Amino acid sequence: MQAHPLRIQPGQDLRDALEDTVRQLGATAAFVVQGIGSLSVAQLRFAGIDQPSELRADLEILTLAGSVAPDGAHLHMSVSDADGRVLGGHVARGCIVRTTVEILLALLPDHAFSREADPQTGFMELFIRDRPRGG
């Protein structure tokens, strides 16, 4: 496992920036160990709901975690507003960084992740494969 700290800049889309970074690093498998920071817009899909809900406010990221494959990410996040109310869910595109987002990525060079249709769940799910070591 290789640790890779990352800072995402103001105005960037959190999910796009994270997925782009993993692709630029040439990583085939990564996990977001933790993330903190702030957003001006959060797009969160709550449990059992098909479409994300938009939250527009000064938001603090309390937790951010998930897996990142070359063909997409599966991320969950909790955020709090100025009154301390906390909401959380699945991270959709459109989460806009307010001041910063700081992330610790764990790159897994011995593995390859992909998102594939799973007939059991009906969703695009994480498939994990071992990558042969070069030598």
Q: Which domain holds residue 119?
A: 2-130
Q: How far apart are CA 83 and CA 96, in angstroms?
A: 20
Please write the tens of the pLDDT for every residue from 82-109.
Answer: 999 999 999 999 999 999 999 999 999 9
Asked if the model's pLDDT at residue 135 lies above 50, the reply is no
Query: What local confidence, expressed as pLDDT, does residue 134 receive?
Result: 63
Is residue 63 in a domain? yes
Number of domains into which the chain is organized: 1
> What is the tens place of the pLDDT at every residue in 34-78?
999 999 999 999 999 999 999 999 999 999 999 999 999 999 999
Q: For residue 131, what pLDDT band results from cuts at 50, 70 and 90?
A: confident
31: exposed, middle or buried (C-beta count within 10 Å: 0-12, 13-18, 19+)?
middle
CA separation for the pair 111, 28 (Å, rounded): 7
**Residues 6 or more apart whose Cβ sits within 8 Å of residue 69:** 28, 29, 113, 114, 115, 126
Rounded CA-CA distance 43/9 in Å is 18
Which CATH number covers residue 25? 3.30.1330.80
Q: Is residue 119 part of a domain?
A: yes
Q: Is residue 100 part of a domain?
A: yes
**83 belongs to a structural domain:** yes
Let me know if residue 27 belongs to a domain. Answer: yes
Cβ neighbours for 80, distance < 8 A, ≥ 6 positions apart? 59, 60, 62, 86
In-domain check, residue 135: no
Q: Say how far apart CA 133 and CA 124 lie, in whole Å.
A: 27
Placement of tokens 């782009």 in the chain? 20
